[in-house]
Each structure stands twice: as C-alpha cells, then as structure tokens.
Chain A
C-alpha cells in the first residue's frame, strides 16, 4: 500500500503537466464549429475507449474542448506509459475514496459546442466504480456508452432466462447433493418430541400453526405415522397452493365421511358445506376425530374469502383438529385479524431446514405471476429514477399522449404508433436520431415499462401496462418529473 501511495503523486504530476500542454495548444486546433464538432465526436470515442483503460483521465480538470487533446496525447503516450498506467489505476482504485473527482457536464443539447464558456464544475466524490459522464450526453455521444451497457445486459438477460428455465425443469435440479443431512435429521427428531404437546393442545380445542423455515412435510408425515395406530382418526389434507376445486373436493370427502356418499351436497357452496359439518357435530355426539392438515395456510386458495370463512367455521369444532403450516414471512398477508382470532391458533416454531418440494401447483403459480404485466407505481418509479432526464422525458411524452388521447376520446388512446412517438420525441428534443430513439425504447421495453402491441394493420403500437389512474399519477409525481415543470 505505501508503495503505491508513493507512486501516485508522480503520476498526478505528469498528467497535470500534460494537461497544461493541451491548454496551451488548444487555440491552434478546431477553428470552425463543424470541425470542432467532428473533433469532439472523435474525442468522445477515444474518451470512451480510454476510459475503460484508465479512469483517471476523464476525471481530470479540463475545459470541455480540451478533452480531445488530452485524450489524443494519452493515446500517443499510451505505449510507453502502459506499465505505469496500470499502477495508476490500481493506486487510484485504492485511493478512490479520498480523491475528489471532477466531472464536467457538457450542456449542449442543441449540438452547439459551448467551449468558450467555462463549464461549471461539479465535484463528485465517488467511491464505486468510475461512472462515465452519462447524465448530460446527448445524441450520438451516447452511442458507446449505451452500447457498452447493452452488451452487459444482453448477456445477463440470457443467463437469467436460463435460470428461470432451469427452475421450471425439475430434472435439472437432480444433481444437487444433499448436505447437512445429519443436522437436519437431528433437528427433525427434536421436533418430533413435541408431538404429544401438540396433541394435548389439539384436544383442548386449539389448533396448531406451524411456522419456521424449512419444509414441514416430513414432520407432518412423522406426525401422521405417530398417530396411525388409532383408527378413529381420519386424515384430510388441504393444499393452500392448489385451486379452489381441490379444496372443495376435500370438503366433500369430509362430508361423505360424515353422511355417507350422497350427491346432493356436491352443489353446495364451500361455506354451506362447512356449516353443514359444524351443525353435524353440534347435533350429534361423535367420537371420531378428523385431523385436517393444511399445507401452506398463506397459499393462494386462502386469498378467497369463502375458503377462509369455511375454515374458520371448521376451526371451532372440537372433533376437528387443524394443523396448518405457514411458510411465508408475512403471515397476515392473507388472513385478517378477526379471522385469525377465531382460528384459535397455538403457534409452534419448527425450523426444520427441510428442502421445499417445488410442486407443480406452485410452479403454475410462478409462471402465472411471471406473466402478470401489471406494473406497480413504485416499481416504475424506481426504474425511472435510475434513468437520466432524457429517457425519463420519453415516458412523460408517452404518458402525456395517453392522457390527452383519452381526454379527446380517441379509441386507440392507450397506445401510440412508433413513428408518431418518434416524432413527438424529436419535437421535444429528447432524441434527434432514430437510432437513439430505438436505444431508449429498448431500455424501456427491457424494463417492462413499455410494451409493444401489434395492431391488426401490423403496426406496432407502444403502450404502458399500467392503469390509467396510475399513469396519471406518475405524471404528477414531482420527484420524477418535477424538473420539467420547474
């Protein structure tokens, strides 16, 4: 570390000197605007390239036009400097925190180089990787920067898709070796000691809620085996992640157990069935015990009000013992307070670390939720906030268009054709070239904020998959679009 530190000042000195050289030689170069523009573009390209080698150069204190010369010199000296330069990079990355970096904003959206004006200097202290000056780049200046980002993202997208596919392909998961089997078994055997306690509470007309990390299936199997000797127990399973029809069938089997097979109550609603079961136990004195195991009480089935009520009705019956497992960290996401209160839960934490079985039903749900395109406001917001103002404005333009079109009563109000959208963007000085427009658009589409729909006439239309109200609300968000009004 100290060695590197010793080296740095020498490098700094050198770079400062070279900068001075450019400042003096600056006036000689680029006499016309066009020329300068050309040079700048060239410079910019070099900047990008050099940037990736040596982050230091960009952050030097210079006026905008000087940049190019600086780069070119660096380029020319590149070869001889190579060895030392890597040291510089190392040293700088080590010193990053202490070293103030100066970022030059280039504010010429119209393409007019304002090199006569001394640009304001913003000092930003950054500790992470050096970010390119992207906030204020426009037009083709962004080309490299955009491209660099995209290659990374494309790669990323591919692997993440791989992973998602892998998840849905169970056979791929088979090579995983089970680890810590002993410890898991130990924990499990520990939990089985509590079976008597559960039984005790169940007999007091309290229901058992099992929570904690890890699959509880095996423990429940043990529990069943534990009680298998008794013939007076009927086991019923409810699956929280299945659909309502399966649950309905479970109730039906329960009813058939009580009344014998009859077809007439198959038409009853769930609550009615539960009511019937409750009344049966009220009026008749039965000794048989029903143990209902509810796999995942927070499952999608119980998002249904009726399913919950039916279960609440069952919960009060002394002959019916409920054992439910709760896997999710948010227990109250599905159940409301009054329902929970009626359920008479006695909670037991059993952390088994058991591996979850990735059931078919669950997977279906995953796929379904993956396809749900409804965006949430805060999601969009977080994405928009990560964009620079130009890109953000693009969202604003489209959203505004949608709102206007709706007001006018346009039948196709929720979308816009590509060409029209580009024209809008061009008019609003968001992007002047179609290439950039597409780049920006791709960003949006990748993030899922814009969706392109093909209409009957084969014309691609762009929409935002949000409710109209949310779109309107987004427009009014000062945090995102406040700068437009200011």
Chain B
C-alpha cells in the first residue's frame, strides 16, 4: 500500500543517493519539503513528503544543533590541547627571558645577544593559527604581557606590521581595540592621512626614529599629544592613549620604567604566525626596527614556521646573516600530524558511542583531507559538520541515534508508520527478519516484525542498545589492539597508528579479522596482560571478561614464579614476560632438561594458547565490521560523493565533461562530432586533431565542414559568427589561450584525453 510512497521517500531523502546522472551530484536536500523561513538559517524540512510528525522534526533539528556544538567543542582549542607541553615550554621561555638580570633600568642594555626569538615549527596547517590565538589569549591571562598577534598573509607593507603592533599594544592596555565607533563619531578627521602617507615613505628607508604616525585611525588629538609628549617631563608617565607609533611606544616604556621599574611593565610578545609567508624584505626592516629598541622594550618574538626547513635553516632560507644575528633563537616543535589525526579519530569516532559515524569512503575522504590534500583541521571540521548537517536534515530516523538508548523510548513514540516502513526497508533489518525465520525458526516473530508496527517499536530499544554496546566494546578492543602492538611487533615500523587501524576496522571484514590483528604474537605477555586488565577495568562495560582474566593473570604469575626457578623453560613462550638475567642463555637451550620443567613448559604453552585464542575470539567479537549489526544504516554515513563535490571540486573535469560529453547534460543524440551538438562542443572536440598551436583558419575550416552538413545554405558570415562565439567561450573557460607572439594562432591549453 504505502510501501511505494515510503520507498520513494527513502529515495528522495538522499540517504543513499544513486547517481543517475551527473546533475544529481549534489545531495537532494530540498526536494519537496516545506520551508518555513529561508533567511534565518532554520530550515525545517518535513520529510516523508510532509508526513513526518512536527515533534519529530523539531527533535531532529535540535539534535543537529547539539551535535554541531559538540563538534565545535571538540575542535575548539584542539591544537592547544594537543600541544600542552609545548605551550608550557613557551610560557616558561617567556617568563625566563629578561629574568636573569637585576631589576634595574639598565638590565636590557646589558644583553649582548639579539632579540629572544622562539621558532615554533609545525606542519603546514592554516588552522594552526587557532593555536596561536588561544595561546595569546591564555598568555595575556596568565602573565603580565602584551601580546601582538600578526597574521603575515595580511601584511602587505611594513606599515601594516607596525600598525598591528601598536593597535594590539593599545588594546591590551585598556584602550578600545579598534575604536572604530568613536572614530566614526568624530568628524574632525583632517589632513592626517597625507602626513601618514608621507611618513610611510620615510619609513621605507629604515629610519626608526622618525616619529612616523603609522596608525592612521587615531584622531588628530593623538597627534598633538604625541608632539607634546616629546617635551614631556621625565617623571610623568605617558598614557597608553598617546602611543601612536613605535617612537611613542618606546617613550611610554621609558617613562613608565622610570616610575615603576621596567620589570613591572608588560613584555611585548610579538607572535607572527606563517612567518615564512611574510615578505623577507618587510620582515627584515621590522626586525631592524625592533632590534633598535630592544634596549628599551622587553620584546619576545614568537615566529610560527610551517615550511619544511627546520632549525636555523628556516631563517637562512630568506634572510641574510646580518638579520639572523639580531635574533637569539630557540626551537619549539608542535605535535605531528599523525598524532593529531589519531586524536581526532579517537574523539570523533572511537570514543563517541552514540553519534553519527562514517563509513569507509567518507573516512578515507577525511583522512585525505587532513592527512594529505589540505592538511587542514578546518576542512576536517567543515566535512564533519557537513556530514552531521546532512545526516540530520535528510534522515528521519536520525532522532534515534544520538541519544542514550535508555531514554530512547520517548523517541520511539514519535515514530509513525513511515518511519517504521523506512526501518523495514533497511537491508540489515531484512536480514534480521530472515534470521528469525531461518535460524531461530520463529516465523511468527518475523511476520509480526513485518506487519505489526508495535513489535518493531518494541524491538528498537534492544537494537539500539546492542549498537551502543558494540560501540563501547569496540572502543575497548580497539584500544587493546593499539596497545598490544607495541608488545608484539618486533619492528617498530609495523606498529600502526590509530587512524590506520580504524580504516581497517571500517573496511569489510573488520579489524577483528584483519591480518594485522591475526598476526599479533606475544612478547611481553605479563606487561601486556596487566595493561589489558587496566583497560578492561576502566571500561566497565566488558565486566564479564574481567574475572576470566584475573584468573589467567594469576596463573601466569604463578607460572612465572615457578619458571624463575627454572629459567631455562621460559623460552618456549618465545620472548616471555620479565626478562631475567640468565634468560638469554636459556633462549639457546631448546630442549627442556628436566621433567618438571617440561611440565611447567607445557602448562605454560597451553596457557599461552588459551590466552591467544581467547584474544582472537575477543577481537573477532568486538571488532567485527559494523555492517554485521542490525540497523547500522541509520548510524553510519557511507556516502562521500557530496563531500568530494563540496570540498574537492573537480573544476577542470566538469568543464571538460560538459564540453566533451554534452550528452550527459543535454539530450543530444549520441555520437562523435556532429552538427546537432552545441557549437562550443564541436569546436572543443575538434581540438583533438590539433597540436599545441592551432591556426584559427584551419580550425574554422574544420568547423565549417561540420556545420555545413546541417545546412548547405549557411552563410559564411553566420559560420564565422558562430565560430567566434564558440571560440570566445572556450577562451573564457581557458581551454585555449592567445599564442602571444604568433599571430593568427591560438594555443591549446588542455591535453590528454578529452
């Protein structure tokens, strides 16, 4: 009856879009839904062609918001958390600088070294700027500092650098950050701009003491004050308001130092991230300026470097020795990408017991995004958010997933017959029904599942709990496998990172049956078992396994004690637990000497085999592939096409397809080059026959030949006009370009198969 409509609804809901044509490449998010308000960002689409209950819709959207916030929570400060050690080191470094001298006004001058500079190395990831931002924030909370945060991609001139410095300084010291509001309220902005421009040119030279006003968004009152400040009495301190350029900044420090002592003044921490993107010419001048004032201002430089050059090489690369000697360098290293990605995977997929999970293809996509193509946390975040959004927006069953199974009954009540039908459509549910018929021979149960909505509702909490348990057990077993590796792999290269293991877990047979896990053999058995026990204890869910392991552990302990007396026998279990002295000798003695030792060895081997078998079963059970679980479809997002379309657009390919195979888009008759096609497509296809340089006339002739097949009476002018139009379109698209020096020729810009 309504089956058909439900089926339709499932199809349109875009859970598993089968791509009928290239045009369908986007998620069919809004197909037939009723949209309430498209501007406020709250689309409330009612699925099942509007037959979803209101309440369910609202819950769905609430869940979505909650999940998105969770992502924000996990991503926020991610780098900061990952690099806590480094951050602490940096704190200490900043604290230690300028602290070894006496608290006199002169202490800065006694330094013979250059500016204290921390080089912070990390892989290329533009999102790292968050780290520096949060570092700056926490720094200004912790210590008395004035942090200047500079993004070098926005720096075009030296003026920008200086302006940033002053602005941050003023902001940190109480003045409003930008002051734009009051700036615009004032109408007394006069000829300052011209002065500023003039000053910039002077600045170009090098001079530091010129007293330029680089900060042009200050009012002219500041200018006057600055002039006065030059004649200020040494005893009165300069107010923060009067700081308009480097010169006045220096004066501020000087006057305040005389009053309160330099130590009480904030250190000027200048953080430049993406330092390697900064134009060396600008940076050089800036460093010279800073160097000039190092005796008056306590400056600490923190330079974020993302290039492959490490250590001093990063500076060598763009700067001469004369600049380098101005800096006193210290290196810091950020955590590496693999480590970061492992942590991300653990946060989002492994430890997260009831949330949206991804299948292997989206996972590979995320892996590529973070690990190889973009190396960017931001893209990872965007992709995850995209998955979550579309999951909740297109899947009416999503109300069941991100909630604790104990509370699920309230949600189950919201399900209507369309939901139930959708559940019945899922292959895994059908498998369950068949299971009831084939193996348990309960055809009645199977029948009621198919016909009675209530029986489906009653079984749902169990299924969901089962899923949750699976996820919990999976997390534990996964952790064990990850830990086990270091005890069993002789070659450290064979130890896999979490993200690799997780990708095995997502591919079909699952991690439990992956050969990497099967190959695992024991080395430090005792240590491992202890570790294992710890993990199990931590994870309360697998309580049932614990007693058995206590038992095993005790047995091992006993055996070990006895084997210590007979060290020779331990070699049977390969590299056994605790390496005792004298054990090395025993490794070579293959045959057990005494009968007693023989017994113990046998026992030991048996025990080892038992444990090994147990583990294999344990892994097989807990690390099975997710697709073996009933209703996995509503938990796992398995489609990656929309992600790829959004974040890795194939611009070139799409244009080439549009031109080369218009049939995909328009209903042209199939075939090679034919006059029925669009002019641009004809021209494009004709390109195949030409070399790098194409004579326009030749091209026109071939074009004419094809066009004339349609209509012999076509005039030359029309042919030419059509040719020109198509020609120009191809040029705009970039398929061809001017062959600069060669008149009458164009250059082909696209090669290969097209």
B-binding residues in A (CB < 8 A): 155-157, 159-164, 166-167, 172-176, 179-180, 183-184, 187, 190, 193-194, 196-197, 199-200, 203-204, 206, 209, 211-214, 227, 230, 232-233, 259, 262, 264, 267, 271, 276, 279-280, 282-284, 289, 305-306, 309, 312-313, 326-331, 338-339, 341-342, 344-349, 351, 353, 355-356, 358, 362, 366, 369-370, 372-376, 379-380, 382-383, 446-449, 465
- The proximity string for B residues 7-31 relative to A, scoring 1 for CB distances below 8 Å and 0 otherwise, is 0000000000000001101110110
| Cα A227 to Cα B37 with chains together (Å) | 12
B230 interface residue per 8 A CB criterion: no
Give the complex CA separation of A380 and B740 in angstroms: 11
Our pick among B189, B382, B647, B718 for the contact of A175 (Cβ within 8 Å) is B718
- With both beta carbons as reference points, the residue of chain B lying nearest to A446 in the complex is identified as B743
Q: Does B678 count as interface, using CB distance less than 8 angstroms?
A: yes
Which of B180, B277, B723 contacts A283 (CB under 8 A)?
A: B180
* 22 A-B interface contacts by CB (under 8 A): A156-B744, A159-B696, A159-B700, A163-B700, A173-B721, A175-B721, A183-B666, A194-B30, A196-B35, A197-B27, A259-B184, A271-B154, A276-B180, A279-B177, A282-B178, A346-B647, A351-B655, A353-B680, A356-B732, A369-B740, A379-B740, A383-B742
> Pick the contact of B126 from A342, A351, A369 — CB < 8 Å?
A342
A181 to B750, CA, bound (A): 28
Which B residues are in CB contact (< 8 Å) with A176?
Answer: 718, 721-722, 725
Q: How far is the CB of B619 from chain A (nearest CB, A)?
A: 40
Given contacts A159-B697, A163-B727, A356-B729, 4 further A-B contacts (CB under 8 A): A183-B665, A196-B29, A196-B43, A212-B655
Cβ of B112 under 8 Å from chain A: no
Say how far A437's CB is from chain B's closest CB, in angstroms.
Answer: 21
Q: Which residue of A lies closest to B737 (CB)?
A: A369
Q: How far is the CA of A264 from the CA of B274 in the complex (A)?
A: 32
Cβ contact within 8 Å between B26 and A197? yes
Give B709-754 interface residues, CB cut-off 8 Å to A.
717-718, 720-725, 727-729, 731-735, 738-745, 749-750
Q: Per a CB cutoff under 8 Å, which of A174, A194, A227, A353 touches B26? A: A194
Report the bound CA distance from A362 to B732 in whole Å: 9
Best-surrounded residue of A163, A344, A366 (most CB of chain B within 10 A) = A163
Residue picked from B378, B645, B723, B742, most chain A C-beta under 10 Å: B742
The chain A residue sitting closest to B35, CB to CB, is A196
Chain B minimum-CB-distance residue to A260: B184
Query: Which residues of chain B from 662 to 680 have any CB-CB distance to chain A below 8 Å in the complex?
Result: 662, 665-667, 678-680
Q: Say yes or no: A160 contacts B740, CB within 8 Å.
A: no
Given A197-B30, A347-B645, A356-B728, decide whether A341 and B378 contact each other with a Cβ distance below 8 A.
Answer: yes
B23 and A338 contact, CB distance less than 8 A: no
Q: Which of B178, B665, B741 has the most CB of A within 10 A?
A: B741
Q: How far is the CB of B469 from chain A (nearest CB, A)?
A: 34
Contact A355 B376 (CB under 8 A): no
Contact A173 B725 (CB under 8 A): yes
Bitwise interface map of B from 684 to 703 toward A, beta carbon under 8 Å scored 1, else 0: 00000000110111101000
Do the beta carbons of B720 and A163 come within 8 Å of each other? yes
How long is the Cα–Cα vector from A282 to B181 in the complex, in angstroms?
A: 11
**Contact between A213 and B655 (Cβ–Cβ < 8 Å)?**
yes
CA distance A226 to B679 in the complex (A): 31
Q: Is the CB of A173 within 8 A of B744?
A: no
The interface residues of chain A lying within 8 Å CB-to-CB of B655 are: 211-213, 329, 351
List B contacts of A347 (CB < 8 A).
Answer: 645-647, 649, 651
User: Contact between B126 and A338 (Cβ–Cβ < 8 Å)?
Assistant: yes
Closest residue of chain B to A346 (Cβ to Cβ) is: B646
Is A211 within 8 A of B654, CB to CB? Answer: yes
Separation in Å of the B31 CB from the closest CB of chain A? 8
Q: In the complex the two chains form, is A351's CB within 8 Å of B654's CB? A: yes
Interface status of B659 (Cβ within 8 A of chain A): yes
- Which B residues touch A187, using CB under 8 A? 23, 665-666
In the complex, residue of chain B having the shortest beta-carbon distance to the beta carbon of A230: B39
Are the C-beta atoms of B39 and A232 separated by less than 8 Å? yes
CB distance from A405 to the nearest CB of B (A): 22
Which residues from chain B contact A447 at a C-beta distance below 8 Å? 741-742
**Complex alpha-carbon distance, A328 and B39, angstroms:** 31
Q: How far is the CA of A144 from the CA of B459 in the complex (A)?
A: 94
Given contacts A166-B720, A203-B41, A341-B376, contact A160 B744 (CB under 8 A): yes
Assembled-state Cα–Cα distance A74/B692 (Å): 40
Q: State A21–B233 Cα separation when bound (angstroms).
A: 118
Contact B658 A212 (CB under 8 A): yes
A259 to B659: give the CA distance in the assembly, Å.
Answer: 46
A275's closest neighbor in chain B, by CB? B154
- Identify B659's interface contact among A157, A180, A213, A289, CB under 8 A: A213
B615 at the binding interface (Cβ < 8 Å): no
Q: Which of B376, B654, B693 has the most chain A CB atoms closer than 10 A to its own CB?
A: B654
A380 to B23, CA, bound (A): 43
> Of residues A305, A339, A355, which shows the largest number of chain B Cβ atoms within 10 Å of its Cβ?
A355
Q: Are B43 and A344 in contact (CB under 8 A)?
A: no
CA distance A402 to B524 in the complex (A): 77
A307 to B714, CA, bound (A): 46
Distance between B280 CB and nearest chain A CB, rounded to angstroms: 15
B156 within 8 A of A: yes
Bound Cα distance from A326 to B698, whole angstroms: 30
Residues of B within 8 A of A348 (CB): 26, 645-646, 649
Interface: B379 (CB within 8 A)? yes
B26 touches A382 (CB 8 A): no
Select from chain B the residue with minimum beta-carbon distance to A168: B724
Complexed CA–CA distance, A383 and B745 (Å) = 12
Asked if B735 and A289 sit within 8 Å, CB to CB, the answer is: no
Indicate whether A156 sits within 8 Å of B658 (C-beta atoms), given known contacts A289-B39, A362-B732, A373-B741.
Answer: no
* Known contacts A183-B666, A373-B740, A383-B742; A355/B39 CB under 8 A: no
Q: Within the complex, what minimum Cβ distance (angstroms) separates A176 from chain B?
A: 5
A209→B274 CA distance, assembly (Å):
26
A264-B189, A349-B649 known; A330+B728 contact, CB < 8 A: no
Q: Which residue of A lies closest to B735 (CB)?
A: A329
Residues of B within 8 A of A358 (CB): 728
Interface string of B630-662 (1 = CB under 8 A from A): 000000000000000111011110111111001
Q: Which B residues touch A214, using CB under 8 A?
A: 658
In the bound complex, CA of A366 to CA of B731 (Å): 10
Taking each of A230, A346, A369, which has the highest tally of chain B beta carbons within 10 Å of its own beta carbon?
Answer: A346
B:162-196 near A, CB below 8 Å: 177-178, 180-181, 184, 189, 193
B654 x A349 contact (CB < 8 A): yes
CB distance from B199 to the nearest CB of A (A): 14
Closest to B666 in A: A183
Chain A residues near B741 (CB, 8 Å)? Answer: 373, 375, 379-380, 447-449, 465
Please name the residue on chain A nearest to B125 by beta carbon. Answer: A341
**Given the known A-B contacts A173-B721, A214-B658, are A200 and B41 also in contact in the complex, defined by CB atoms under 8 Å?**
yes
Q: List the 8 closest A-B pairs by CB distance, nearest first.
A: A448-B741, A347-B649, A160-B744, A203-B41, A213-B658, A328-B734, A160-B696, A183-B666
Residues of chain A with a CB closer than 8 A to B39's CB: 199, 203, 227, 230, 232-233, 289
The CA-CA distance from A247 to B733 in the complex, in Å, is 22
Inter-chain contact B41/A167, CB cutoff 8 Å: no
Interface centre among A172, A305, A331, A338 (most CB of B within 10 A): A338
The chain A residue with its CB closest to the CB of B180 is A279
Judge whether B717 and A175 touch: CB under 8 Å. yes
Interface: B293 (CB within 8 A): no
Chain A residues with CB under 8 A of B742: 379, 383, 447-448
Known contacts A200-B29, A376-B740: A355-B651 contact under CB 8 Å:
no
Closest Cβ–Cβ distance, residue B180 to chain A (whole Å): 5
